[in-house]
Amino acid sequence: MSPAPTPSHTVGPFFGYALPFTGGADVAPPHHPDTLTLRGRVLDGDGQPVPDAIVETWQPAPDGSRTGAPGSMRRDAVTGRVVGRHGADFTGFGRVATDADGHWLVRTLPPGGVPYVCVAVFARGLLHHLYTRAYLVDDPDDALLAALPPRRRATLLARPEPGTPRVHRFDVRLQGAGETVFLEFP
């Protein structure tokens, strides 16, 4: 018999000294020429910024590998401080808290084999986190995109910002006009 799942709860407002870590936004090795920036805001049902959300990203390495690698939160064994990723292995994992304006940002490398970066959003007020995807390419063959009406589909597209093709904009609207498409994995 399968054990019953432990219920989810909100991350609350006070995760800030615990979950974010130095270098959490820097998934790409420093100065990597293929680095792309994924940035956006988390907004509530009134269109107001959500300043106490945390955004996590997960994706394949550029070569398509999906195993990730340890070391996202690499620690100095002497001081215990976070020393950050060493950059040789691609960990695939990003974590960043929103700022007072609801803004978040990760610098990463293009995911191999798929057009999207997986996104999970946690926030005060959100009793169960939300999954979505930031599509870097509007892929006509993608089954999820193809199944959505155009206006909803548009919420999953991380569009290059004008003049800065390596900066992709992906706002997450938790509710209301332009509400982001959120996913479940039954």
In whole angstroms, the minimum distance from the beta carbon of 58 to other proteins comes to 5
By CB under 5 A, the residues from 130 to 169 that bind Fe ion are none
**Three-state secondary-structure class, residue 150:** helix
With tokens 């870590």, the residue in question is 21
In whole angstroms, the minimum distance from the beta carbon of 163 to other proteins comes to 30
The verdict on 150 binding other proteins (CB under 8 A) reads no
Distance of alpha carbon 90 from alpha carbon 102, whole angstroms: 27
The verdict on 135 binding other proteins (CB under 8 A) reads no
Nearer to other proteins, 32 or 152 (CB): 152
Cβ-Cβ contacts under 8 Å for 3 (sequence gap 6 or more): none
The verdict on 185 binding other proteins (CB under 8 A) reads yes
By CB under 8 A, the residues from 12 to 41 that bind other proteins are 12-19
Q: Are 128 and 47 in contact (CB under 8 A)?
A: no
- Give the one residue of 5, 33, 150, 162 binding other proteins; rule: CB under 8 A: 5
Longest dimension (CA), the chain: 56
- Among Fe ion, other proteins, none, residue 66 binds (CB under 5-8 Å by kind): other proteins
- Applying CB under 8 A, what is the total number of residues that bind other proteins? 74
Residue 39 host element (H or E): strand 36-43
- Give the one residue of 1, 6, 8, 12 binding Fe ion; rule: CB under 5 A: 12
The verdict on 146 binding other proteins (CB under 8 A) reads no
By CB under 8 A, the residues from 88 to 117 that bind other proteins are 91-93, 111, 114, 116
By CB under 8 A, the residues from 61 to 80 that bind other proteins are 66-75, 77, 80
CA dihedral 59, 63, 68, 72 (to 10 degrees): -80
The verdict on 56 binding other proteins (CB under 8 A) reads yes
Cβ-Cβ contacts under 8 Å for 11 (sequence gap 6 or more): 19, 54, 122, 123, 124, 126, 129
- Give the one residue of 41, 108, 135, 180 binding other proteins; rule: CB under 8 A: 180
Q: How far apart are the first and last CA of the chain?
A: 18
